[in-house]
Amino acid sequence: MTTDSEHPPPGGRTPSPTGSQPAPTTHGKGDGTPPASGATATGDSTPTGYGAVFAVREFRPIFAAHVLSVLGSVFAEVSLAVLVFRQTGSAVLTALIFALGFLPYALSGILLSGISDRYPTRRVLVACDLLCAAFVAVMAVPATPLALLFVLRVSVSMITPLFTGTRAASLADILHGDVFVLGRSLVRIVGQSSQIIGYGIGGLVLVWLSPRAALLVTIGTFLSSALLLRFGTRDRPARVTGTGAMMRDSIGSAGRLFRNARIRSLMLMWWVPPMFCVVAEGVAAPYADAAGAGSAGFGILLAAMPAGTVVGEVLAGTLLTPSARERIAIPLAAVSMLPFVCFLVHPSLPLAIVLLLITGVTTAYALGIDKWFVHDVPEDMRGRAMSLLGAGIMTLQGVGMTVGGAVAEWVPPYAVIAGAGILGTLSVVPVLRSVRRTQPMGAAASPA
């Protein structure tokens, strides 16, 4: 369930977990202009619907660029894995090329997040796309040695958290209130859907193209994304100005965010469940093998949680009102890992798939905490906070998958999944209590 994870309405306040109601909001473009055609004013009594997000003109190129970036990343991962395995025949090095997509996230989120707020958003996003295209272009050169291939993979992975954090913060500049929440939901839906169909498409592409030729597809998606963002979005000024050392500013900002109890609690609410949920994906291969299901069963197990996540997000975003999504956020997060506990009885493959689907559906709590997070993070730190948030999610998922796989060397896979459910539930409960105890701050000032 790899996930990625923005300006409260003008003059309004986002409701807190206790259920206070906001004033009705008019959704504009984030610059004081009237709502875009089709983006009508909505209150908290009726579902907004995803159509209101696409009605905002500036969101459409951002969404298209996101789809292209996801496809490009999938093609790159599949192509690099096949390329490394064909050159080395090493399963360890092939796994490492995947792991390098996770490992640099923490470093990048801490050291580079300041770029998100100190430079204009459009400039940062376009520069990230162009740098990634350049790095992949070097990967595609037949003479590129294997060692440089790994260095370039790390370089792309260092840029990714900066890009996703900057884009997440930029959504709050163009989408307001519940439309922002649904916009973030659409971004996650694309990310989850890529896990269901993306790798299959990447595998089919490699039937006709060599791995290095397939990397040319990735270059094209990054360049197309850069063009969409350059000519489809407004040029907004940087959120802050500064002349100090960038890395020092990024590290200091991370410290200030963590010292704030409210923001820290919300970050942990984002981080803890995925870290334990991803354990099931890490041991899906041995579980399917033990069930005699082979590669087909393995693929279905991997797709189960992302499919459930898409279903949960679509249902919550379409059928529930904004206040209802917030009311269910904490209860859903509390029970999100309980289906894993049912693995104690060593369920059959069909039942295991159902349990993973249910777990995916419960992650609809994300729509509730999205609103709280953007409401409580100061506007001048939004880019840094979003970069750090995404970096933490990906890093801890990498840790969870690695630890789960290591434990599965000695413990049956079903027991590993059940243990992750128990430990995860025990870990998330105090986090949720902290979220309830801390009071919403509003995005008025930076934390001390």
pLDDT at 61 over 90: yes
Contact 58, 171 (CB under 8 A): no
pLDDT at 99 over 50: yes
Bridge partners for 1 per DSSP: none
Average pLDDT, the chain: 80
The pLDDT value given to residue 91 = 63
Find which of 39-43, 325-329, 394-398 is predicted with most confidence, using mean pLDDT: 325-329
Q: Quick: pLDDT tens for 292-339.
A: 776 667 777 878 898 899 999 999 998 988 889 999 999 999 999 999
Q: Stretch 216-228: mean pLDDT, rounded?
A: 93
Contacts of 27 by beta carbon, 8 Å cutoff, 6+ apart: 9, 35, 39, 40, 41, 42, 52, 56, 175, 176, 177, 178, 179
Nearest to 305 by CA among 346, 337, 345, 269: 337
Other beta carbons less than 10 A from residue 283's beta carbon = 24
Alpha helices in 7-58, H assignment, sequence order:
51-54
pLDDT at 440 over 80: no
Lowest-confidence range among 99-103, 122-126, 419-423, 428-432? 99-103
